[in-house]
């Protein structure tokens, strides 16, 4: 059975890495130098997390992304 998850991706310009995470799966995060490599690594870590937790992962509906600005 195939399942689909939303990945959140940011670029760390200081370390020159793409950072990706699957918000609906605790522990499903990784980093890579290219987007292609990041996608493959996210698939791998997501598969491992789903395998470990089984069917306990909820199917969440993606709504959107918002930028939040704060004073620091």
Residue 46 falls within a domain, yes or no? Answer: yes
Q: What is the pLDDT of residues 6-57, one digit of tens each?
A: 999 999 999 999 999 999 888 899 999 999 999 999 999 999 988 887 767 7
- Output the pTM of the full model: 0.80
5, pLDDT greater than 80: yes
The DSSP-derived string for 13-47 is TTTTEEEEE-TTSTT-EEEESSHHHHHHHHHHHHH
Displacement of CA 51 from its chain's centroid (Å):
16
In angstroms, the CA 32 to CA 67 distance is: 23
12 belongs to a structural domain: yes
71 within some domain: no
Residue 42: domain span? 8-55
Predicted local distance difference test score (pLDDT) of residue 50: 85
């Amino acid at each position: 059975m195939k399942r689909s998850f939303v990945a959140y991706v940011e670029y760390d310009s200081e370390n020159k890495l793409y950072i990706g995470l699957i918000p609906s799966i605790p522990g499903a995060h990784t980093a890579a130098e290219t987007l292609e490599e990041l996608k493959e690594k996210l698939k791998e870590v997501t598969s491992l997390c789903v395998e470990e937790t089984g069917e306990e992962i909820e199917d969440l509906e993606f709504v959107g992304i918002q930028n939040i600005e704060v004073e620091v």
